Structure formats: C-alpha cells, structure tokens
C-alpha cells in the first residue's frame, strides 16, 4: 500500500486517530456490538464502511455475486438519447421531423431517470423562444405553456437594507424583451408530448447507468440501471439486470455535470483543449402570494447582499401568469466561493428577508423547493463535443449564456444541430465509417456556424471579469464598458480561476458565518424544504453518493475544511455525526434526500465524492419547476 | 350440473387484479385553492403500493401455473393506462381500462368501483379477484369487501399469505389480535396487505413487451353501472398546524398550567 502524500502532513492527527480507534476496536470486540463492516485503508484507522456501490467495489470480485445471472437483454435503435430535458427532447423531435420529411424509418429512444418527463427539471426560467421558433414554429397553436411574456424587467444591487436599481440598457445581455417566463418542467413535459406524437419512444423511470463500447472503442450505446441491489451491495430476490440499448449514435444530454459525461471526458480525453467547467448552484422556490402583490410578467434580478463582493451570485424573482398568483424565486451562488462556512441554502433563506423581497412574499405560501447546479464556464469551457459513436448536447457540455442566465435556448439548438448532423450521417447510403459507432464531427462545425457560437463568444469575458479585487463591481464595470460598447469583440479571452473544488480555503483561515434562524414564514429549515421537493429513493439500495475512499471525509474534508458538504448540499444528504464508539466523527450519507443537483461532485475539495445514478424513478418529484 | 359456485378451479382460472393510479406517497400534497380537493395536475403519480402487491401475487400464481390468465383493471381517465402498462410489465396478460373522467372521476368511490368490478367479474368469468387492501389517497379500505358482497363471494382481506388448495383458498389474515387463517371457496375476493410479497420491478424490456399487450377500453355504462356518486364533498382542508408544546419545570407548574387551560 503506497502512503499518499498527505500522510506526512497529517501524521500526528493520524497517530492519535489510530490509537483511539484501536482502543475503540478493542472495546467493540469485547462487547460484540452489532457488526458494522470496517474497512482498513491507508489511513491506518478503521473507518465505518459508507460506500457499497459496485462502481467502487466491483461485483466480479465480490463473493456474494458468484453465480448471479449477469446477462443483459439488448435492443437496437438508430439513435439513443440519454436525458429527457430540453436538449434531448429537441434532438428527438428534430430527428423524427427529418425522418417524416424524408420518409425514412428511424427508431429514436430517450431514456430519462425521472419517473415522468419534467420531474427532474429545475430552472428560473426566462425562456428565449429563438430555438423553439425554429423547432416548432406553431408552438402557440399546439399549446406550449409559454403563458407569461415578460412585461417588466428590473435589475438591482442589494445592500442589507436598501435596493439600488440599475438601468438595463437595450443591448445588455440581461435585457429580456421578447422572452417568456415559464415553468420549465411543464415546458419539458409539453416537449415530451410533442416527441411522443412524432413517434419517439420515451422511457421515463429508467436511468442510463453505463456506457457501452464496441471492440474498436467507439460508443455502442448505454445500459440502464440494475434493480434490486441491497443497501450493503448484495443482490436481493428482486434483482434484475438493466437493459442494453444499442445505437448507431448516442446523444448524451444529462444536463449540468452529467455522470456519464464525466466518464466520457476521461475515456476520450475531451477536455484537453478547454478550460475546466465552472459552476454555480441555483436554489429555487415557488410561492403563491397575495393577489394584491402579484404583477404577472415582472422579472426581477439582483446582485449584492447577502453575498460579499467576491462571491459570485444573485437572485431572480419572476411573477408567473398561470392562473393563480404564483412567483418563482431563487438564488444562485457561484461554486468558486472560498469560505467553507458558506451555505448557499442559508444565503437563499436569508436573502428572502430583504425588505424588497419580503414585501412580495408576506402573506404568501411556499409550495415547492428544489436545487440544481448550473454551468458558468461558457465559451472557454466547451469541451470536444463528438467522439466515435456519440455526441454531447445541452448543459452537459455547457452552452449557458451566463450574463443572460439562459441556457435552455442554446441547449435546444444544440440538440437540434446534433439531430440534423446525425440524421444526414445515418441516412447516408454511401457512408464508410471507420468505427462501428458513427463519428460525426459535422456537429461541431454546425455549432460553430450557428448563433450559439456567436452568442457565447460575445459574452465570454463577462463571468471571468469578476475575478478581480473589486469582484462584483469590477465585473459590472467590465460588462458596462466592454460588452456594451464592444459586444465581446475585444481580442482577448479572459481565463477562469481553475476548478471550483480547488477554491476553498482551509476553515482555520475563514470566519464562520452567522446565519439567522429560519422564521417558518419567510425562511425555512432545510429538512422541511427537502420534503417539499418530493424527493425519494428506494431506501434499500447502495448509496449513490459514492466515495472513492471512505476515510477521506473525516481525514480531509472535516479536518481541513470543517465538512463543507454539510453546508453546500441543498438537501441535507451529508451529516457528520459522532461515532457510536465514542470519540471521533463519521460521515453519514442520507442518500434518500438527494435532489440530483450534482453540487457535491463539483465542490468536494477532495474530489472524493462520485455521484452515480441511483435506481431509475428515484429523485425529486418537481411539478413545473 | 354443479352450481357455478362449486365449479372446480382448474388451470383455466382467470384472475382479475385492480390497480389504482394515486399520487406518489413521497409527494407533499397541496389542497386546491378552492378547497374542493387536492392538486393533481402535473403531480407525480404511481401505482398504489398495495395494488403493486396484488399484481405481484397474481403473477406469482400464474408463474406457479395455478392460474392461467391475469387481467389488470383500472378505472379513470387516459392517464391510468400508464398504470395498467406497469401491471402488464410486471406480468399481467392483458388490461381493461374503464373510462371515467372529469367530474365522474373526481367523485368515483369504492361503491361505484366495486359495482364495476362485480360486473367485470361476471363478464370475464373471473375466478379470483385480488385487490390492494386500501388506496393510499382515500384510505377507504372498502372496495374489496363491497365487491365480494355484490358478487356474494367469500372474501379474504388483509392477506399476508395466500395458498391455493384445489378449489379452496387458504388465506392468512393480519388482524388486530395477530394472524387469522381461514379457508374460503373459490371464486373469491382477496385484498393484499403489506407483507404478502415484495413486488418485482417493471424492467425496461418488460415495459417494451407490454406495449404489445392489449388494453381494452370499456365504459361503465357498457357494464350497466351508474357511476354517479351519492356523496358530496363539502370541503377539503389541510390538517391543523400542530401547536408547539410548553415545557414546565415542576409538577406544581404543570398543575397550574392545566388549571389555566381549564382542564382541571
């Protein structure tokens, strides 16, 4: 066993821990306490076993799996799409439109981990209808739920007590004229209905768990998740293997920080010529407010309080016109924040107490809650998008226009372009493909010629411009000067700061933040919020928040950063609790609470957490979020 | 000629299983602003957990070759077809969708559903009806019992174990006092309780195969059933907010507080 580099730094702590644990172990053995699987690792301390998932402990070496039938049923399609979100569904719809137009048969299958299409979708959202107008020009007649055109657009800088309005000049990216406030989950549901009408096979409730490869290394398709594995990793009576779906080309539209995309980046080295992706976490609530305060079509954004000028983030508050006086509001915090004591959830709850926000919410009722990570990398972080047998679409590679805070229109357009280029390749009778899975570099070329590229290139320097001493104000100055005058034509491209997970400072160098207690009327505690997301998972399955090394959370995350995962997880999945045997702490993972936001996989300073997909249909039950 | 009641149950036995589409148990319910019911539009729905257990039991009987055909039945609007498809994916052979929608669906209750099941049982010549013991949305626990009464069939409710012995059914029932074992003659109605079995997953290949299985659409009127309700829902409210308690230091304080509250 090699001794990792940090052993020397933390040698003393480890020796103490070792002695304590040996004492504890002796006590345990003497009392014959209930068996807990202890794994002895390099840290030379025994750590309660947390991870049981087969991606960390392979089943072919596990004696409990000997003799189990591991054959999978396989089926063939022309195109398989992973993810039933705006990008995936737009791609599916476009494929079928082309197939019908050219009178060709095309089998398109979409697998989606949510129990129903739209149940894992969460966004503000202010939709720019450009891509929709291209995809389904008669969307209004078809009943697309774009019911709230933007009527008022307001931007402000908040201080603890005051609100300083900032004029939104035409030409600035955050100008929303012509856009619609939507409940994106409902929009995605509608897209799903359009796709089904065209003959797309939709399979919600089935997660793509594994990428399959041909012998020549190209992507063959995906396999859905196995079911019936117990919490300890052993097979249950109801165990059944997932199914393999083979395709000529597979489109991966898993959304921000997809878990299969993570594997593909490594497998095909897709990120060698781009900057690492940077992210933010967005938390959102839906409120039914007092009718007198309701202004349908009103769009409000703010920056500033409660975040300090060096922490990127801001808020949104949209008045929706969907029958009842509904507002969608939320808070975004850039995940490159440095203070491990920062809790995005509590910043969100605190922000609602600002006088200008409270005045809207007073007398209202909260009806929904959720959270999701989003991309902030923009142009600089776009990876290589095509590889033999597959393509990346939507927020997975990341086409979000950060200053506009819109990514749906670009995600949809990327799906459409992927569909168009894939269709020509698949139906090309004279095609000579070098690999069994089709390689379609024309997708990247099509993207470069499209409005997505121009748009993302123009705003590429706005987000990185925040990395200066003046933080927020430097960024706004840069936007005001360079973007408004030059529209991104400046010849330089600013860089991001590196990986979000590397930005945290040690806890001893930072001040804990005093957050106010939730009052139960405007602000709320974490657990009641998680309950509102409707999230649930089959409890008897291996936790899907897997740790590469079970000892790292206590040894590193807790020791150096005071366990930031307790604070950045918007669902209370991670808790440090005292060990049953006395002194010391252990990490408890409440996997059932997970809302699939992916923040932990992104922000973990040790990059030890690997989010894998749980059994299909687990996760949040968002309704029009 | 033996009366219908005493005919021998052979390999040609047919089982009718009722499945209900309900709001998923993990979802937070919200009362509609007009207080006439709860919000269902866009909310995650799934098959009633006890109905899943019922389907599993029927499919197990088929796998043991004790029954020949499992028919899944659901009453409701278009969306219940998803629930029937799940039952088909679990192993049912065909489905019957009894179309009830709009106002009729909002007022649909155990009395109407049991009339529908009784009519279907006669029409399909079913030998066994397995239902979930209750639905998790209305908690009525009435449909199985009413169906048995309408058909004049024996009933084995809250079943935690079902064994077929020739033309009789041995049912172990979960009752307040413990477990009660009864023997009832077929045809009969059984309602499934939690510990009857662990339902299997509806896997993707089975969902795909289920697309080829038939679901027949029927209207209640075709079965001679009137679905109008004799009940009127006056209002639906959230349960009252739980008041926080008060801690007292001594017994004396407790007595004082109780006196203040007028309790003693």
- Give yes or no for a contact between A80 and A251, defined as CB atoms under 8 angstroms apart: yes
The pLDDT of B79-101, averaged and rounded, is: 96
Q: Residue B72: is it exposed, middle or buried by C-beta count within 10 angstroms (0-12/13-18/19+)?
A: buried
Assign A78 a pLDDT band (cuts: 50, 70, 90). Answer: very high
Question: Positive or negative CA dihedral for A239, A214, A115, A546?
Answer: positive
Residue B3 has pLDDT above 60, yes or no: no
Please list every residue in chain B whose beta carbon sits closer than 8 Å to the beta carbon of residue A534.
Answer: 24, 26-28, 44
Q: Is 50 exceeded by the pLDDT of residue B200?
A: yes
pTM over 0.80: yes
pLDDT tens for A478-516 read 777 777 777 778 888 888 888 999 999 999 999 999 999
In this predicted model, what pLDDT tens digit does every residue of B150-190 receive, in sequence order? Answer: 999 999 999 999 999 888 999 999 999 999 999 999 999 99
Query: What local confidence, expressed as pLDDT, does residue A8 receive?
Result: 44
The answer on pLDDT for A5 being more than 50 is: no
For residue A25, name the pLDDT band (cuts at 50, 70, 90). very low
Residue of B nearest to A238 (CA): B200
CA separation for the pair A36, A154 (Å, rounded): 56
pLDDT score, position A40: 40
Taking CA atoms, B202 is separated from A329, A616, B30, B184, in Å, by 37, 11, 29, 31
- The model's pLDDT over A236-289, given as tens digits with 9 standing for 90+, comes to 999 999 999 999 999 999 999 999 999 999 999 999 999 999 999 999 999 999
A1 or A272: which carries more pLDDT confidence?
Answer: A272
> How many beta-carbon pairs under 8 angstroms link A with B?
57
Q: Please count the other Cβ atoms lying within 10 Å of the Cβ belonging to residue A469.
A: 8
pLDDT in tens, B112-163: 999 999 999 999 999 999 999 999 999 999 999 999 999 999 999 999 999 9
Mean pLDDT of A37-62: 73
Please give the pLDDT value at position A17: 53
Chain mean pLDDT for chain B: 92
- pLDDT top residue among B12 and A518: A518
Which is nearest to A564 in space by CA: A372, A346, A413?
Answer: A346
Choose the weakest-confidence range: A39-53, A89-103, A276-290, A597-611: A39-53
Q: What is the H or E stretch that residue A391 is in?
A: strand A390-392
Active site (annotated) includes residue A298: no
B interface test, pick of A115, A197, A205, A241 with most B CB neighbours within 10 Å: A205
Q: Report yes or no: B44 at the A interface, CB cutoff 8 Å.
A: yes
Residues of chain B neighbouring A75 (CB-CB closer than 8 A): 205, 208
**Beta carbons of A621 and B33 less than 8 Å apart:** no
B204 at the A interface (CB within 8 A)?
yes
What distance separates the 2 farthest-apart alpha carbons in chain B? 80
What is the pLDDT, as a whole number, of residue A495? 86
Q: Does A471 touch chain B (CB under 8 A)?
A: no
- CA A156/CA A167 separation, integer angstroms: 8
A137 pLDDT higher than 90: yes
Task: Tell me the percentage of chain A whose pLDDT exceeds 90.
Answer: 77
* A109 is known as an active-site residue: no
Beta bridge partners of A317: A300, A329
The answer to whether residue A164 scores a pLDDT higher than 50 is yes
Determine the residue among A184, A237, A623, A624 to mutate to test chain B binding: the one whose Cβ has the most chain B Cβ atoms within 10 Å: A623
pLDDT band with cut points at 50, 70 and 90 for residue B7:
very low
What's the confidence (pLDDT) of residue A481?
Answer: 75
- State mean pLDDT over A353-357: 94
Residue A206 to residue B204, Cβ atoms within 8 A: yes
- Is the pLDDT reported for residue A81 higher than 50? yes
Q: Which residue of A has its CA nearest to B90?
A: A238
CA dihedral B116, B119, B125, B127 (to 10 degrees): 60
CA distance B19 to chain A (A): 18
pLDDT at A69 over 50: yes
Q: Give the pLDDT of residue A29.
A: 43
> Does residue A91 register a pLDDT over 90?
yes
| Helix-helix angle A442-449:A451-458, to 10 degrees | 60
Which of the residue ranges A41-45, A286-290, B62-66 would you say has the lowest mean pLDDT? A41-45
Give the tens place of pLDDT for each residue, A177-217.
889 999 999 999 999 999 999 999 999 999 999 999 999 99
Q: In this model, does residue A419 exceed pLDDT 60?
A: yes
What does the alpha-carbon distance between residue A206 and residue B246 come to, in Å, rounded to a whole number? 48
| Nearest residue on chain A to B41, alpha-carbon basis | A623
Catalytic residue among A597, A599, A606, A617: A597
Name chain A contacts of B199, Cβ cutoff 8 Å.
Answer: 238
Instruction: Spell out which residues of chain A touch residue B198, defining contact as CB-CB under 8 Å.
Output: 237-238
| Interchain pair B24, A534: CB under 8 A | yes
Q: Identify whether A600 is a catalytic site residue.
A: yes
Q: Give the three-state DSSP class for A89.
A: helix
Q: Annotate A500-549 with DSSP letters as a single string.
A: GGG-PPPGGGSPPP-PPPP-SSSS--HHHHHHHTT-B--SSS--SEEESS
A123 annotated active-site? yes
Let me know: does B162 contact B190? Beta carbons within 8 Å: yes
> Residue A536 and residue B42: Cβ atoms within 8 Å?
no
Asked if B204 and A227 come within 8 Å (Cβ–Cβ), the reply is no
Which residues does chain B have within 8 Å of residue A118's beta carbon, measured at their own beta carbons? 42
Is A597 an active-site residue? yes
Mutate to test the interface with A, among B33, B38, B44, B237 (most CBs of A within 10 A): B44
Q: Which residues pair with A152 in a beta bridge?
A: A298
Q: Which of B41, B79, B201 to mutate to test the interface with A (most CBs of A within 10 A)?
A: B201
Structure confidence at residue A167 (pLDDT)? 84
Chain A neighbours among B 53-72 (CB < 8 Å)?
none
* Residues of chain A positioned with their CB less than 8 A from the CB of B205: 73, 75, 243
The pLDDT > 90 percentage for chain B reads 80
Residue A595: pLDDT over 70: yes
* Chain B: residue whose CA lies nearest to A592: B26
Torsion over CA: A545, A546, A548, A549 (sign): positive
Yes or no, beta carbons of A243 and B198 under 8 Å apart? no
* CB-CB neighbours of A505 under 10 Å: 14
Confidence class of residue A10 from pLDDT cuts 50, 70 and 90?
very low
């Amino acid at each position: 066993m090699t001794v990792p580099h940090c052993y020397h730094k933390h040698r003393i702590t480890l020796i103490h821990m070792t002695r304590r644990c040996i004492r504890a172990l002796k006590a345990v053995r003497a009392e014959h306490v209930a068996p807990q699987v202890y794994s002895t690792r390099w840290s030379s301390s025994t750590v309660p076993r947390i991870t049981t998932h087969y991606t960390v402990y392979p089943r072919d070496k596990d004696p409990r799996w000997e003799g189990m039938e591991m054959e999978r049923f396989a089926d063939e399609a022309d195109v398989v799409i992973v993810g039933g979100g705006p990008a995936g569904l737009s791609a599916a719809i476009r494929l079928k439109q082309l197939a019908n137009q050219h009178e060709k048969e095309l089998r398109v299958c979409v697998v989606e981990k949510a129990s129903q299409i739209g149940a894992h979708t969460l966004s503000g959202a202010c939709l720019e209808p450009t891509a929709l107008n291209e995809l389904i020009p008669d969307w209004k007649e078809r009943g697309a739920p774009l019911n709230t055109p933007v009527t008022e657009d307001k931007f402000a800088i908040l201080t603890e007590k005051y609100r300083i309005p900032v004029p939104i000049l035409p030409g600035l990216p955050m100008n929303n004229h012509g856009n619609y406030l939507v409940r994106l989950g409902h929009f995605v549901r509608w897209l799903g209905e359009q796709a089904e009408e065209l003959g797309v096979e939709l399979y919600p409730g089935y997660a793509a768990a594994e990428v399959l490869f041909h012998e020549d290394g190209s992507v063959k398709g995906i396999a859905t998740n196995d079911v019936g594995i117990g919490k300890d990793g052993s097979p249950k009576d109801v165990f059944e293997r997932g199914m393999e779906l083979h395709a000529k080309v597979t489109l991966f539209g898993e959304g921000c920080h997809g878990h299969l995309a993570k594997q593909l980046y490594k497998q095909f080295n897709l990120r060698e010529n781009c900057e690492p992706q940077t992210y933010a976490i967005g938390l959102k609530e839906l409120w039914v407010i007092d009718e007198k305060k309701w202004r349908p079509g009103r769009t409000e954004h703010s920056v500033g309080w409660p975040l300090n000028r060096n922490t990127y983030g801001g808020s949104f508050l949209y008045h929706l016109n969907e029958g009842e006086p509904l507002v969608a509001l939320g808070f975004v915090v850039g995940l490159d924040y440095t203070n491990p004591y920062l809790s995005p959830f509590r910043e969100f709850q605190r922000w609602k107490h600002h006088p200008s926000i409270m005045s809207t919410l007073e007398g209202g009722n909260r009806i929904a809650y959720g959270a999701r990570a989003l991309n902030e990398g923009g142009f600089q972080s776009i990876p290589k998008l095509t590889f033999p047998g597959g393509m990346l679409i939507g927020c997975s590679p990341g086409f979000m226009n950060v200053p506009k805070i819109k990514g749906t229109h670009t995600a949809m357009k990327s799906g459409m372009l992927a569909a168009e280029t894939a269709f020509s390749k698949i139906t090309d009778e004279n095609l000579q493909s070098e690999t069994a899975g089709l390689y379609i570099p024309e997708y990247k070329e099509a993207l470069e010629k499209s409005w997505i590229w121009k748009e993302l290139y123009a705003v590429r320097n706005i987000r990185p411009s925040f990395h200066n001493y003046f933080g927020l104000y430097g960024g706004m100055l840069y936007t005001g000067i360079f973007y408004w005058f030059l529209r991104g034509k400046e010849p330089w491209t600013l860089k991001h700061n590196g990986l979000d997970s590397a930005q945290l400072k040690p806890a001893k160098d930072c001040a804990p933040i005093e957050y106010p207690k939730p009052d139960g009327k405007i602000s709320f505690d974490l657990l009641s919020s998680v309950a509102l997301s409707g999230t649930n998972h089959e409890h008897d399955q291996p936790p899907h928040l897997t740790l590469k090394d079970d000892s790292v959370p206590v040894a590193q995350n807790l020791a150096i950063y005071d366990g930031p995962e307790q604070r950045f997880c918007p669902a209370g999945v991670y808790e440090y609790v005292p060990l049953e045997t006395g002194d010391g702490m252990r990490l408890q993972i409440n996997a059932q609470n997970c809302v699939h936001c992916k923040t932990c996989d992104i922000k973990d300073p040790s990059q030890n957490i690997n989010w894998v997909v749980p059994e299909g249909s687990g996760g949040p039950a968002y309704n029009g979020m | 000629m033996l009366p219908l009641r005493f005919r021998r149950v052979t390999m040609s036995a047919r089982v009718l299983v009722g499945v209900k589409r309900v709001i998923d148990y993990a979802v937070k319910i919200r009362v509609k602003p007009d207080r006439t019911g709860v919000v269902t539009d866009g909310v995650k729905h799934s098959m009633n957990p006890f109905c899943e257990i019922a389907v599993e039991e029927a499919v197990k009987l088929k796998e043991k070759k004790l029954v020949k055909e499992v028919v899944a039945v659901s009453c409701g609007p278009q969306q219940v077809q998803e629930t029937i498809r799940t039952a088909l994916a679990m192993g049912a052979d065909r489905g019957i969708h009894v179309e009830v929608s709009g106002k009729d669906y909002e007022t649909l209750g155990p009395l109407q559903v049991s009339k529908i099941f009784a009519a279907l049982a006669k029409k399909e010549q079913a030998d066994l009806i397995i239902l979930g013991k209750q639905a998790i949305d209305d908690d009525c626990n009435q449909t199985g019992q009413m169906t048995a009464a309408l058909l004049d069939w024996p009933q084995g409710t809250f079943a935690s174990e079902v064994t077929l012995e020739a033309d009789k059914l041995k049912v172990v029932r979960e009752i307040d006092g413990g477990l009660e074992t009864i023997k009832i003659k077929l045809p009969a109605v059984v309602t499934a309780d939690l510990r009857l079995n662990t339902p299997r997953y509806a896997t993707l290949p089975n969902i795909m195969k289920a697309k080829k299985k038939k679901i027949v659409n029927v209207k209640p009127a075709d079965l001679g059933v009137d679905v109008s309700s004799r009940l009127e829902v006056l209002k639906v409210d959230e349960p009252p907010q739980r008041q926080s308690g008060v801690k007292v230091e001594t017994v004396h304080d407790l007595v004082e507080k109780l006196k203040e509250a007028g309790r003693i």
